[in-house]
Amino acid sequence: MKRSTAKAELLDQGLTIDHEQFEQLCKMVIERSERTRDLELTPFRGDGGIDVHAVIDRDLFHARLGVQAKQYAPGNTVGARTIRGFKGALSDQNYHIGTVITTSSFTSGAVDSAERDYIRLIDGDHLAGIMVSSEIGVVENEGSYDLDPGFWNAFEKPVRDDVIPSLEVPQADNFDIVRTVLRAVDAGADVKPAITEYVRTNEADTFDPRQSDYYAIAAWLLEFLHKDEQVTIDGHDLRRWGLTRTGEEYLAYLDRGDQDAADDLLYRQLRDVEIISRVYNELEAGGTIVRSDISDVIAAETELSASTTDRRARTVGEWLGLLPEIRTSGRGPSQEYVLVP
């Protein structure tokens, strides 16, 4: 397709993802088009108008960058009031420079306000132009452009459908390692070899590379990680991972020693994982289930083989048993899970 068509397609794609994913998209665009460090989604929903944080280091200056993302439909323009509010957020949180990115456009009042306060505005056309020029979300071949499915597949989320994909039945049962994987990604170790090395150094020296996939997917199911586009390393296509806003929030609680808040957030995310939700429904109906019942739910709700369902039932049981309202006893297929009033 032509460049103009590619830009239009990119904006359409930017409107099909949800708002938090659009913030992730803005983060990915910044990462690929600017030299930054400490690039991250701000960890809390009460973020004061700052959606993405970064530090820009150059030979002659050092600056904290705050970014606000506005996923607006065409015709829903960003006005001067938004820019004034953003200026206040930058000042309150000690940011030196700011950028507002939108899929739509800005009113003339917003442009005037931004120019007075040295705030950079990126409208939908400019955003799409950056993405095309940097081949973000598109690939160029002899002057023609195509959407990059590998890039946009990164915005897949766990499905809510009749049949749960096998990928969404967890295989990672050690939550200390889940937390270590989150810290690995936060430290920039965001692909399988780097995650493996980080976990071996900081948590478990026998950690197998295959487990990196299991644990990253587990964190994705909990919506602590999001998929980033694939990269090629030593001839292998590898998935990159990034922290979601919820993942940033979880680590922030842990870093400041607020274990109760971290646990409450983890429990909320656990209950929202589809396979956990369906097993939980069975538990609520009877008050008690055993691990073989979990196997039955997995067999009925997924396309996993019988031998695989038994192995996954153990992990699902471990996840279920983390919830404070559930008491466990026994071992093996007869291990019991009781919902405590």
Domain layout of the chain by residue ranges: 3-155, 172-267, 273-341
Average pLDDT in the 119-143 region?
Answer: 93
**Under 8 Å between Cβ of 137 and 228:** no
* Rounded Cα–Cα distance for residues 179 and 6 (Å): 39
Q: What percent of the chain is predicted at pLDDT more than 90?
A: 71
The domains spanning 172-267 and 273-341 adopt the same CATH topology: yes
Average pLDDT over residues 294-304: 92
pLDDT by residue (tens digit) across 187-232? 999 999 999 999 999 998 899 899 999 999 999 999 999 988 777 7
Computed on alpha carbons and rounded to an integer, the radius of gyration of the chain in Å comes to 22
pLDDT of residue 341: 80
Residue 167 has pLDDT above 80, yes or no: yes
pLDDT band for position 303 (cuts 50, 70, 90) = confident
160 falls in which pLDDT band (50, 70, 90)? low
| Cβ-based neighbours of 7, under 8 Å, separated by 6 or more | 125, 128, 129, 131, 132
pLDDT for 19-33, tens place per residue?
A: 989 999 999 899 888
Whole-prediction pTM: 0.81
Q: Which numeric CATH code is attached to 172-267?
A: 1.10.10.10
CATH pick for 273-341 out of 3.55.50.30, 1.10.10.1470, 1.20.58.100, 3.30.1490.100: 1.10.10.1470
pLDDT for residue 318 is more than 90: yes
pLDDT (tens digit per residue) in 242-284 = 999 899 999 999 999 999 999 999 999 999 999 999 999 999 9
Domain 3-155 in CATH 3.40.1350.10? The answer is: yes
pLDDT score of 37: 86
- Of the candidates 72, 47, 54, 14, the residue with the CA atom closest to the CA atom of residue 246: 47
What is the tens place of the pLDDT at every residue in 76-112? 999 999 999 999 999 999 999 999 999 999 999 999 9
Six token digits for residue 339: 């919902």
Q: What's the pLDDT at 65?
A: 95
Residue 47 is predicted with a pLDDT of: 56
Average pLDDT over residues 158-181: 90
Q: What is the pLDDT confidence band of residue 40, given thresholds at 50, 70 and 90?
A: confident
State the pLDDT at residue 324.
Answer: 96
In this prediction, residue 34 carries a pLDDT of 86
Give the pLDDT of residue 48. Answer: 67
Q: Residue 33: which of 105, 120, 108 has the closest Cα?
A: 120
Between 307 and 47, whose confidence is greater?
307
